[in-house]
Structure formats: structure tokens, C-alpha cells
């Protein structure tokens, strides 16, 4: 099977190495295309080329995926796939520009260097070519999570937009502390900050522009900052009721059991 991968960044390179196919890369940066091809023993072609392939995989940033599909859909003979990270817009574009082809949207829920992992999958119009690619991904140890475009994009508001906003806000608001003063919660957040800030800023900016979620984090932080002691206790119990399976309702009193960050309960 011959596969054209439009976009030779980390995700496009990962896809090229993860599928059992003869892969060719096209990118606005010819040097990046050559590097990706060398990494997976593939080939390079011009971004403006007219050559066709069994499958075209769009591996460009979210902000450009719809335009890339419109530009390159006619180079696919059997299937169109994207790994952009958002699903509703690219699938709508695929249906518009390639209604007769197999159409699948994938979102690897991990950084390429941490593969294998979970991959969200929407088979809008499946078939032999797309199934062969998905089988290859599963054979490499990835867990294919079947979903819908709407379910995926709604989940990303929490999984990505809200989560990233919360971690970045902590990174900007908190200060480094002397050795020995760290609590388990602080240390976990610091580790998340270190992981997140080792990435690419544009990726996180694209996520915030694409998905809602940051506003809810800002509103919750404002509620916490404005709360008095009783209101904060209520917010704490509301959070516990949402996330802790054995939590008591918000109107029940807290126990005096110390918290995992070393602080005491409400009634020490």
C-alpha cells in the first residue's frame, strides 16, 4: 500500500513508522520531509505534486487540517486519514472533498516518543485500506478506542484544553520552593509542568484555540480565590463528590483525616 503523509512533523513521522506501507512525505519544509523519510525509510515528494496514492494521511496542525484536506484529497485513490487531534472539522472536510473514499480520523493520545498508547478512532467510512492501517497500528501495541467525532471533541475540552490551562496557570502562578518544602501534590504538579513545557508552544496554542475549557478553569480559580472558609469547604466537597467514588455529599461534615499533601482535615 502506498501512503502519502502530508506533514513531516513528529506525528507524521510517527504515523509513517507505525503503519505497514510504502510511505512518502510532503511538507512545506523540504528538509523536514527528507528527515522524516530517512527516519522511516520512506520517500519525499513535492507538496504541490499531483501524484496519487492509495491513502493520503493529513498530519498538519489543527489550524491547517481543513485546508490541507481540500488541497490534497484528490491525491487519494482509496482512503483519507488525518491525525490532527480534532475530528469534526476534518471529517466534514473529507466528506465534502472525497465523499466516495474511505474516511477515518485518528488522534494518538500520546506524544510520539511515548508510543504505543491509546488512539481515538472514528471510522466515518471504513473499508479495506483504512482497516489495514488500523490493524497495523493495533499490531504495534496501540489500543484503538472507537468513538464519534462529537464525543471526542467534547472530551478534549477537559482532557486537553482545561488540563493544559490548569497546568500552565500553576506554572505561571507558583514559585519554586526550597528543597524539602515540597508536598506530594506540589511535586506532581511540578512534574506536569516540566513535561508540558518541554513540548512545542504552537501545539498547546492550537489546542486552546480549537477547544473550549480554559474559561471554565479560570472561572473555577476565581471562585476559589474569592471564597471564604465555608465556601471553600463547599467547593472542596463538590470537587470530591465529582472525582472520589467514596466521597460524601457536600452537606456532610469532613473527617479529620489528613490530606495527602500533609495538611489536616477541616476539623484538626
Query: Per-residue pLDDT tens for 206-252?
Result: 999 999 999 999 999 999 999 999 999 999 999 999 998 765 555 55
Domains in the chain (CATH in brackets) are 2-147 (3.40.50.720), 152-226 (no CATH)
State the angle between helix axes of 201-210 and 163-173 in degrees (0 to 180), rounded to the nearest 10: 130
How many other β-carbons are positioned within 10 Å of the β-carbon of residue 164? 22
**Angle at Cα 67 formed by Cα 72 and Cα 11, nearest 5°?**
75
How many other β-carbons are positioned within 10 Å of the β-carbon of residue 131? 14
Query: Per-residue pLDDT tens for 51-92?
Result: 999 999 999 999 999 999 999 999 999 999 999 999 999 999
What does the DSSP 8-state code read for residue 98? Answer: -
CB 205 within 8 A of CB 197: no
> Region 97-108: what's the mean pLDDT?
98
Query: Per-residue pLDDT tens for 136-184?
Result: 999 999 999 999 999 999 999 999 999 999 999 999 999 999 999 999 9
CA-nearest of 162, 176, 142 to 211 is 162
Which H or E run includes 87? none
Amino acid at each position: 500500500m502506498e501512503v502519502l503523509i502530508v506533514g513531516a512533523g513528529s506525528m507524521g513521522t510517527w504515523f509513517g513508522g507505525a503503519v505497514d506501507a510504502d510511505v512518502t512525505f510532503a511538507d512545506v519544509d523540504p528538509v523536514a520531509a527528507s528527515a522524516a523519510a530517512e527516519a522511516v525509510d520512506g520517500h519525499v515528494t513535492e507538496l504541490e505534486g499531483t501524484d496519487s496514492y492509495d491513502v493520503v494521511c493529513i498530519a498538519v496542525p489543527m489550524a491547517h487540517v481543513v485546508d490541507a484536506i481540500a488541497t490534497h484529497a484528490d491525491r487519494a485513490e482509496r482512503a483519507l486519514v488525518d491525525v490532527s487531534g480534532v475530528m469534526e472539522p476534518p471529517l466534514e472536510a473529507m466528506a465534502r472533498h472525497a465523499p466516495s473514499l474511505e474516511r477515518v480520523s485518528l488522534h494518538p493520545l500520546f506524544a510520539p516518543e511515548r508510543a504505543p498508547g491509546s488512539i481515538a478512532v472514528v471510522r466515518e467510512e471504513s473499508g479495506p485500506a483504512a482497516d489495514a492501517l488500523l490493524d497495523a497500528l493495533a499490531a504495534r501495541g496501540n489500543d484503538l478506542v472507537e468513538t464519534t467525532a462529537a464525543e471526542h471533541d467534547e472530551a478534549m475540552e477537559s482532557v486537553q484544553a482545561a488540563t493544559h490551562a490548569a497546568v500552565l496557570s500553576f506554572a505561571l502562578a507558583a514559585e519554586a520552593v526550597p528543597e524539602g518544602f515540597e508536598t506530594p501534590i506540589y511535586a506532581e504538579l511540578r512534574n506536569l509542568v516540566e513535561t508540558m513545557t518541554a513540548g512545542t508552544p504552537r501545539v498547546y496554542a492550537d489546542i486552546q484555540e480549537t477547544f473550549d475549557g480554559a474559561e471554565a478553569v479560570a472561572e473555577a480559580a476565581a471562585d476559589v480565590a474569592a471564597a471564604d472558609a465555608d465556601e471553600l469547604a463547599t467547593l472542596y466537597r463538590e470537587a470530591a463528590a465529582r472525582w472520589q467514588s467514596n466521597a460524601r455529599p457536600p452537606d456532610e461534615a469532613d473527617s479529620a483525616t489528613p490530606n495527602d499533601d500533609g495538611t489536616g482535615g477541616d476539623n484538626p
